[in-house]
């Protein structure tokens, strides 16, 4: 491999100067590479760290917050959920199958490294427009990669989201979330253990794959990116499955002092992170690292991002038992060095010292950039767009068009490729509820999981949009009956060195932080993916929220479909006509603008509490939040899933109906109740100070939307189903 300059490795001149100051000498090639990967945005969070401090990270439910491999929240009975979301955007843009597959592999390792058994995966995916053949190939490749890897591991992929928008054409987003279950006393943290402890590497052999992947993830995509292809990693889910089982056995038997997965920046990062926790040092000999390829330099061994490798620091005296367990699983474990007390990260190649860097310089001296944001001109322009003359001439056609929009349409084509039932815990399968629900075997409990982000909202108003992403996630959990507990996030933005991008990032984070505080869903883990740009510009700011919730009683769970003819349809929350930033405006009028509906966080919190209460008391028999496509689509989805139509009547005439049908204003959900329970529903809603308006009844084979008693739109249920269910399948044939 040709030698790279420090600039090509991703260090700026100032950063290199800082390295010189720390080292008090010219670093050699290996040392420069170690600084470059550890100080990349991906590992060092140098652009985002000051902003991330805004997130609330504490609460009685939080056991482990940010800073570890994943966050941990209490779910009672001495059990906890471990979860995190992470991006694999750039690798997936270049090799969709392997990029997505190794994204799943990486996040799963983060979870079992904490001692938890992974119990579910979710994926938040974004692509360009689906009629583009290149996008179809990417989409198909990413879905197949997630399926190929996740299915083999036997971890159900239970939820997520897929959006299509031109801003993601050259830079798709592939964000993978994993959730694990752990007994509180078995939570494993990344620590170095005692001085003198051996350091073992286990799993796959080390090759040249993915060298500088972390740096690569922190750069804009360009034509030249195609030339970086050799850095694509190839995943081996079978090896990962063996690692999961073996590592969980080690933890059950309490054999390890420290365990760390090898992810971005490979050995360099995982060793440095382990050692930094207690101010330890390390000495490793690259000659001892088992390799797949001949002639690898120390630089290549230390920076390789070969997948399916773990670092193990045994408890003293447990080495033999550890070896036995790895033998049982036919895994190769090798001692490559030991923990020292001098705070230095020393890399040997046999007898020779190949490089020597203070551990703390790699982990703590990474420069932090506090940048100045600048409000982009589009912000006021788009906000000021007048929407007063906008109305649907043919509302029925608009409803069908929305249902057939790939972003709204059923994702059946995707989730039938994912094994979503393995482990036999999936109580609400994909497509059936606003969130996935899993039972926790041996208890009566359930957990609910979701990922959400409406990036159009965030683009048009980052502060409101950031908050709305959190609100939607919490609302989705409440709609299945769960109490939102905590969140993780994957912050996908463009190049933060551009002031207008930084402004998006700063405001989106502030908005998310406000909502997380108001809804009591602290941020316990996360990942930042910057430089999501191509020659055509940046992606829309896309801070994806992954949230987990708890159902004390799994029997009290709720799905979205209408359950029976004659059930009363109740709109919870204030009626809204705001069309700003809606999918309707985009799809039917080609407009992305207007004022983003502003969140009312206190009202949102009351709605979320109310939904849980209505479900717990078995008053609500279905619940579905109002989001993409507005009330009209919300009702249609419940009808399609329940194979029961509906008739609603709203207090408006003709053109006035457009706003009521398609507004995506937050803080709203639709429930159905048995006629006998209507009074109870209204009473509960009044207790929570939430408007509860009867808008119609479930029944029949049509979707009938009336305004002041006159039909405004009538859509046969069969047509609605076809539009919603077959769109993506038709494109992907």
Partner 1 sequence: MKARIYVTLKTGVLDPQGEAVKKSLHVLGYGNVEEVRMGKFVEVDLQAGDPEKARQELMEMSDKLLANPVIENYRVEMVEGE
Partner 2 sequence: MRFGVVVFPGSNCDADCYHAVKDVQGQDCEYIWHQQSKITGFDALVLPGGFSYGDYLRTGAIARFSPVMPAVVDFARQGGLVIGICNGFQILLEAGLLPGAMLRNKSLKFICKPVNLKVLNNDTPFTNQFNQDEVIEIPIAHGEGNYYCDPATLGELKDNGRILFSYCGPEGQIGDDHNPNGSLNHIAGITNKEGNVLGMMPHPERCSESVLGGTNGYGIFASMINWLKEARA
181, β-bridge pairs: 81, 117
How many Å from the N-terminal Cα to the C-terminal Cα in the chain? Answer: 41
- Binding test (CB under 8 A) with partner 1, winner from 236, 261, 600, 664: 236
Residue pair 624/637 in contact (Cβ under 8 Å)? The answer is yes
Least gap, CB of 91 to partner 1 (angstroms): 10
Least gap, CB of 208 to partner 1 (angstroms): 5
Q: Does 94 bind partner 1 (CB under 8 A)?
A: yes
Cα(577)–Cα(579) distance, rounded to whole angstroms?
6
Which residues, 151 to 180, sit near partner 2 by CB under 8 A? 151-154
What is the DSSP code string of 79-109?
Answer: EEEEEEEEE-HHHHHHSHHHHHHHHHHHHHH
Cα(586)–Cα(454) distance, rounded to whole angstroms?
13
Q: Does 95 bind partner 1 (CB under 8 A)?
A: yes
Least gap, CB of 154 to partner 2 (angstroms): 2
Q: Which helix (H) or strand (E) holds 126?
A: strand 117-127
Least gap, CB of 447 to partner 2 (angstroms): 13
- Binding test (CB under 8 A) with partner 1, winner from 89, 270, 307, 706: 307
From 34, 7, 12, select the one nearest 356 (Cα to Cα): 34
Total binding residues toward partner 2, as defined by CB under 8 A = 31
Distant-in-sequence, close-in-space partners of 4: CB < 8 Å, separation ≥ 6: 33, 212
Cα(90)–Cα(232) distance, rounded to whole angstroms?
10
Among partner 1, partner 2, none, residue 232 binds (CB under 5-8 Å by kind): partner 1
From 682, 669, 678, 576, select the one nearest 624 (Cα to Cα): 669
Cα(180)–Cα(107) distance, rounded to whole angstroms?
11
Which residues, 426 to 485, sit near partner 2 by CB under 8 A? 426-427, 429, 439, 441
Q: Which is nearer to partner 2, 212 or 439 (CB)?
A: 439
CA geometry: angle 530, 532, 533, nearest 5 deg: 135
Residue pair 227/245 in contact (Cβ under 8 Å)? The answer is no
Least gap, CB of 193 to partner 1 (angstroms): 30
Q: Which two tokens stand for residue 504?
A: 């998006």
Cα(81)–Cα(447) distance, rounded to whole angstroms?
9
Among partner 1, partner 2, none, residue 234 binds (CB under 5-8 Å by kind): partner 1
Q: Which is nearer to partner 1, 209 or 628 (CB)?
A: 209
Contact pattern for partner 2 over residues 326 through 345, marking x by CB under 8 A: ---xx---------------
Among partner 1, partner 2, none, residue 726 binds (CB under 5-8 Å by kind): none
Q: Does 234 bind partner 2 (CB under 8 A)?
A: no
Contact pattern for partner 1 over residues 200 through 229, marking x by CB under 8 A: ----x--xxx-------------------x
Q: Which is nearer to partner 1, 98 or 638 (CB)?
A: 98
Q: Does 305 bind partner 1 (CB under 8 A)?
A: no
Catalytic residue among 42, 165, 212, 420: 42
- Binding test (CB under 8 A) with partner 2, winner from 42, 84, 420, 606: 420
Contact pattern for partner 1 over residues 312 through 351, marking x by CB under 8 A: ------------------x---------------------
Which residues, 123 to 152, sit near partner 2 by CB under 8 A? 144, 147-148, 151-152
- Binding test (CB under 8 A) with partner 2, winner from 134, 137, 184, 238: 238
What is the DSSP code string of 408-464?
Answer: TS--HHHHTSS--STTS-EEE-TTTSSSEEEE-TTSS-EEEEEEE--HHHHHH-HHH
Q: Does 423 bind partner 2 (CB under 8 A)?
A: yes
Tokens 């094994």, located at residue: 419
Q: Which is nearer to partner 1, 98 or 407 (CB)?
A: 98
114 Ramachandran zone, left/alpha/beta (phi>0; psi -120 to 50)? alpha
Least gap, CB of 130 to partner 1 (angstroms): 21
- H helix runs in 86-191, sequence order: 89-94, 96-112, 133-153
Residue pair 361/22 in contact (Cβ under 8 Å)? The answer is yes
For 413, phi and psi rounded to 5 degrees? -55, -30
- Binding test (CB under 8 A) with partner 2, winner from 86, 95, 236, 637: 236
- Binding test (CB under 8 A) with partner 2, winner from 72, 104, 325, 554: 554
175, β-bridge pairs: 87, 124
Q: Which is nearer to partner 1, 101 or 551 (CB)?
A: 101
Q: Does 323 bind partner 2 (CB under 8 A)?
A: no
Tokens 């990413």, located at residue: 142
From 425, 395, 466, select the one nearest 655 (Cα to Cα): 395
Catalytic status, residue 42: yes
Q: Which is nearer to partner 2, 27 or 103 (CB)?
A: 103
Q: Write b or e for each residue in 324-341: b if 16 or more Cβ atoms lie within 10 A of its Cβ, otherwise e.
A: ebbeebebebebbbbbbe
- The half-sphere exposure of 553 on its side-chain side, counting CA atoms within 13 A, is 8
Q: Which is nearer to partner 2, 26 or 555 (CB)?
A: 555
Total binding residues toward partner 1, as defined by CB under 8 A = 22
Among partner 2, partner 1, none, residue 360 binds (CB under 5-8 Å by kind): none
Among partner 2, partner 1, none, residue 208 binds (CB under 5-8 Å by kind): partner 1
- Binding test (CB under 8 A) with partner 1, winner from 23, 140, 144, 234: 234
The neighbour count for residue 700, using CB atoms within 10 Å, is: 15
Q: Does 68 bind partner 2 (CB under 8 A)?
A: no
Among partner 1, partner 2, none, residue 306 binds (CB under 5-8 Å by kind): partner 1
Distant-in-sequence, close-in-space partners of 91: CB < 8 Å, separation ≥ 6: 98, 99, 102, 103, 210, 213, 217, 232, 233
Q: Does 292 bind partner 1 (CB under 8 A)?
A: yes
Cα(504)–Cα(57) distance, rounded to whole angstroms?
22
Q: Which is nearer to partner 1, 95 or 419 (CB)?
A: 95
Stretch that binds partner 1, among 233-241, 435-443, 640-648, 672-680 (CB under 8 A): 233-241
For binding to partner 1 (CB under 8 A), which residues are involved?
Answer: 94-95, 98, 204, 207-209, 229-230, 232-239, 292-293, 306-307, 330
User: Annotated catalytic sites, by residue?
Assistant: 42, 88
């Amino acid at each position: 491999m040709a030698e790279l300059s420090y600039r090509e490795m991703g260090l700026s001149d100032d950063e290199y100067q800082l390295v010189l100051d720390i080292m008090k000498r010219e670093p050699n090639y290996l040392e420069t590479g170690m600084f470059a990967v550890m100080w990349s945005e991906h590992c060092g969070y140098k652009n985002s760290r000051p902003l991330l401090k805004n997130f609330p990270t504490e609460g009685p439910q939080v056991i482990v917050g940010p800073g570890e491999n994943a966050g941990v929240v209490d779910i009672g009975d001495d059990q906890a959920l471990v979860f995190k979301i992470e991006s694999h955007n750039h690798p997936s843009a270049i090799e969709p199958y392997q990029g997505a597959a190794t994204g799943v592999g990486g996040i799963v390792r983060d979870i079992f490294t904490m001692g938890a058994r992974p119990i579910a995966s979710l994926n938040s995916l974004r692509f360009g427009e689906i009629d583009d053949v290149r996008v179809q190939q990417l989409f198909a490749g990413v879905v197949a990669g997630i399926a190929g890897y996740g299915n083999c591991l036997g971890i159900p992929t239970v939820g997520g989201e897929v959006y299509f928008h031109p801003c993601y054409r050259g830079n798709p987003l592939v964000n993978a979330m994993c959730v694990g279950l752990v007994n509180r006393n078995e939570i494993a943290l990344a620590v170095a253990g005692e001085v003198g402890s051996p350091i073992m590497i286990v799993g796959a052999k080390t090759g040249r794959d993915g060298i500088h992947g972390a740096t690569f993830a922190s750069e804009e995509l360009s034509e030249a990116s195609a030339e970086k292809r050799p850095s694509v990693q190839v995943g081996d889910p079978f090896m990962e499955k063996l690692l999961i089982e073996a590592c969980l056995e080690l933890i059950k038997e309490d054999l390890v002092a420290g365990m760390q997965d090898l992810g971005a920046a490979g050995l360099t990062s995982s060793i440095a992170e382990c050692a930094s926790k207690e101010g330890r040092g390390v000495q490793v000999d690259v000659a001892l690292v088992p390799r797949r390829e001949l002639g690898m330099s120390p630089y290549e061994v230390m920076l390789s991002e070969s997948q399916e490798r773990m670092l193990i620091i045994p408890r003293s005296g447990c080495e033999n038992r550890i070896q036995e367990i790895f033998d049982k699983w036919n895994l190769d474990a090798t001692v490559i060095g030991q923990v020292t007390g001098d705070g230095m990260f020393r890399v040997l190649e046999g007898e020779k010292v190949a490089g020597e860097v203070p551990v703390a310089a790699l982990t703590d001296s990474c420069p932090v950039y506090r940048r100045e944001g600048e409000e982009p001109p589009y912000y006021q322009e788009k906000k000021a767009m007048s929407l007063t003359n906008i109305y649907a001439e043919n509302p029925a056609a608009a409803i069908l068009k929305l249902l057939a929009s790939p972003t709204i349409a059923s994702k059946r084509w995707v989730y039938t490729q994912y094994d979503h039932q393995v482990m036999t815990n999936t109580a609400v399968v994909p497509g059936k509820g606003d969130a996935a629900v899993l039972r926790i075997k041996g208890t009566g409990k359930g957990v609910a999981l979701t990922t959400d982000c409406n990036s159009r909202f965030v683009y048009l108003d980052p502060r409101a949009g950031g908050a709305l992403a959190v609100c939607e996630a919490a609302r989705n959990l409440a709609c299945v009956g769960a109490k939102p507990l905590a969140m993780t996030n994957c912050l996908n933005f463009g190049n933060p060195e551009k002031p207008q991008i930084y402004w998006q990032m700063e405001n989106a984070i502030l908005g998310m932080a406000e909502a997380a505080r108001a809804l009591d869903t602290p941020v316990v883990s996360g990942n930042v993916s910057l430089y999501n740009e191509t020659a055509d510009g940046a992606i829309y700011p896309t801070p994806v929220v992954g949230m987990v919730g708890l159902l004390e009683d799994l029997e009290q769970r709720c799905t979205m479909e209408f359950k029976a003819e004659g059930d009363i349809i109740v709109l919870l929350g204030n009626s809204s006509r705001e069309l700003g930033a809606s999918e309707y405006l985009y799809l039917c009028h080609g407009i992305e603008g207007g004022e983003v509906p502003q969140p009312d966080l206190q009202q949102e919190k009351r709605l979320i509490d109310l939904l849980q209460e209505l479900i717990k008391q078995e008053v609500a028999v279905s619940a579905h939040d109002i989001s993409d496509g507005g009330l009209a689509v919300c009702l249609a989805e419940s009808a399609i899933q329940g194979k029961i139509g509906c008739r609603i009547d709203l207090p408006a005439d003709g053109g006035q109906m457009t706003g009521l049908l398609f507004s995506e204003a937050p803080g709203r959900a639709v429930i159905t109740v048995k006629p006998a329970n209507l009074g109870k529903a209204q009473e509960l809603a009044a207790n929570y100070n939430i408007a509860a308006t009867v808008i119609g009844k479930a029944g029949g084979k049509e979707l009938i939307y009336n305004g002041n008693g006159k039909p405004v739109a009538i859509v046969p249920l069969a047509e609605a189903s076809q539009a919603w269910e077959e769109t993506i399948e038709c494109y992907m044939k």
